[in-house]
Amino acid sequence: MKLVIILAICVGFIWTKADSSRLTDNNNKATTLQENKTPDCYEISFLRQMINQETVIRLALVKNVHALVNDISILKESFAASETKISDLQRTVDALNIQVNSLQQENGQLKKSSLISQAKSMELETKFQNVSDNVSALHGQLNVIQKESDDKRQEVFNKTNAVLDDIKIEVRYLSVTLLDFKERTEIENESRDKKYSELERHSNTSIESLKVKNSLTKEFGNLKSFVQNLQDSQTEITENLNRTVARFDTQFTLSEHTQQTFSSALASLETAQTKLSKSIDENLNRTVARFDVQFTLSEHTQQKFSSALASLETAQTKLSKSIDDKSSHHAFTAGISSYKSDWTGDTLVFPVVIYCEGTGYNPSTGIFTAPSAGTYVFYVSVQSSLQKYIYLDIVVNGSSKVRALAWYNSGSSIAIHQTGTNLVILHLQTGDRVWVRRGGGTGYYSYSIPITTFSGFKVN
């Protein structure tokens, strides 16, 4: 601030000097009537000029100081506004920091959920990869089966083509054979016709000769023999023809059998193809069913997981309830580890704590203070000293509720200890006190393992 004021004064001085220079033009033009008369007049004139310049400078300086004061007040206001803005910005930054912290927490939660989602996604990707591998294996099996089917089909087609080629060759052979048979038949028919013509001619000649000469009877017999031979030859030709026809029929039958075999092979091929398609469909259906079962098992597993999670939450609730119940459960058993045959006190203290859960029992005073309202059960067991009796009362806030009596009245000749017990159920409020008080008699008996005891517990 001081530096600013000094700078303002310097600037004002420079402005004043400039104004004075403009007023005097940097030359002393003020003259008097006696300026050339004496040096004193010159000095007075110079002093006047100096005073005038000083006055002008002071006025300009005052003006500049006022302007500087105004600027300083404006600067103060701007500083105050800036401080206000800075405070607002600081509050805004604090709010933004709070939002950033909350966003960081949300980001952490989102990262955790993202990690969980990534784990689930990896698990699903693994399952999907397994399914894809199973599908790929199935496609591979289908391709192998298809390839085997194509190979078998091609093999059957090749065998069928070979059989057809053999049938074609046999048909060609049969055609050639038939042509040969036809030619031979025609030749035999021509030969037979010639023989018949010759026979007829010879018969006619023989008849004429017979008519002419009776001696031709022998020749007629020979002719008869010749006719018989001719008939035998014709019979043989007929048999040969029948055998040829039978052979042709057999060949045609074989051809038909081959064709039937081919048809049966085609039918078997179609049946095998049908069975193969059916087997592929069945395998595909079984695979799809297995995938459905796997997805069903996955859904069932998810349901089991949800059920297990619900059971876990139920168990957690029960455990929390059990812990709460356990924290609200109070029970104790205390005893005395020594005997006093001449005890005649008021409150019987049980200092040895055998079991204690929760709060309430004080082994120093023998008093149980109810930590919460509810139903309580108390039990006392006392053994009298040798040849003595004692009464013990269970007392609530000074009021006796029940009494345990260990009574002895059999004379001094019998060494005996009597035991007295009693139990009471009480409804206590928070802060109620319960203890054991002597109602009469003298002394009690106990041991290192307590015989005389006091117990209590909360029912609900």
If phi > 0 it is left, if psi is from -120 to 50 it is alpha, else beta; for residue 275 that is alpha
pLDDT at 209: 56
157 vs 151: CA distance, rounded Å: 10
Q: What is the pLDDT of residues 186-243, one digit of tens each?
A: 776 677 667 656 666 765 565 565 555 555 556 556 655 655 665 666 566 667 666 7
280 vs 272: CA distance, rounded Å: 12
339 vs 447: CA distance, rounded Å: 7
Q: What is the pLDDT of residues 349-402, one digit of tens each?
A: 999 999 999 889 999 999 999 999 999 999 999 998 888 889 999 999 999 999
Query: How many helices, marked H, and strands, marked E, lie in the chain?
Result: 3, 10
- 49 burial (CB, 10 Å; 0-12 / 13-18 / 19+) is middle
55 vs 39: CA distance, rounded Å: 24
pTM above 0.85, yes or no: no
Give the dihedral of Cα atoms 91, 97, 98, 102; nearest 10 deg. Answer: 160
Task: Identify the CA nearest to 156 among candidates 261, 252, 251.
Answer: 261
Domain ranges of the chain: 2-97, 140-271, 327-458
Question: Options 2.60.120.40, 2.130.10.30, 1.20.120.450, 3.30.420.240; which CATH number does 327-458 get?
Answer: 2.60.120.40
331 vs 456: CA distance, rounded Å: 6
Q: What is the pLDDT of residues 317-336, one digit of tens each?
A: 776 666 565 566 899 999 99
